[in-house]
Amino acid sequence: MNNAMQRSYSRGFSTILALFGLVYTLGAAFMLFAWSGLQSYDPLTWPSNSLPFFALVFLLGSLGALGGWKRKKWGVYALVGTWILSGVLRLVFLPSAPLPTKNSFLALLLIIAFFLLLLPEWQRLE
């Protein structure tokens, strides 16, 4: 193994990957518990027929974060795929619901931060 592969991720990129892994895992658990009836939820925010689809997206996001942590490019592709799938599912299940501007801005800011932190690491991913 060469020195470039042994070098750890930057602190910012490690933090954001850990954050994604935690949020996606908790989100998957929430969706599965809500779908099974063990967890209450707001049906206006999460229609009951969307819960299994969002649970699957959250599980894929957890796997993507794990893949990114293990220095695999497919992990990054999986994360990007989950962001696209989340947007599509939101449009399918809640087409008329307004999306708060603040939430959209924060999500976009997080994605921009992820890619800015990813740029120096991309060459070291397999």
In this structure, what token pair is assigned to residue 9? 């991720």
Domain-wise residue ranges, the chain: 10-124
pLDDT at 18: 92
Grade residue 3 by pLDDT with cuts at 50, 70 and 90.
very low
Alpha-carbon distance 7 to 2, whole Å?
A: 9
Reply yes or no on whether the pLDDT at 96 is more than 90. no
Q: Is the entire prediction scored with pTM above 0.85?
A: no
Q: Is the model's pLDDT at 1 over the cut of 50?
A: no
Could you report how far apart the first and last alpha carbons of the chain are, in Å?
A: 13
- Tens digits of residue pLDDT in 31-60: 999 999 999 988 888 889 999 999 999 999
**Got the DSSP string for 63-104?**
HHHHHHHTT-HHHHHHHHHHHHHHHHHHHHH-TTSPPPHHHH
Taking residues 49-73, report their average pLDDT: 94
What are the distances in angstroms from CA 25 to CA 56, 60, 101, 112? 11, 9, 25, 22
Q: Which residue has the higher pLDDT, 2 or 20?
A: 20
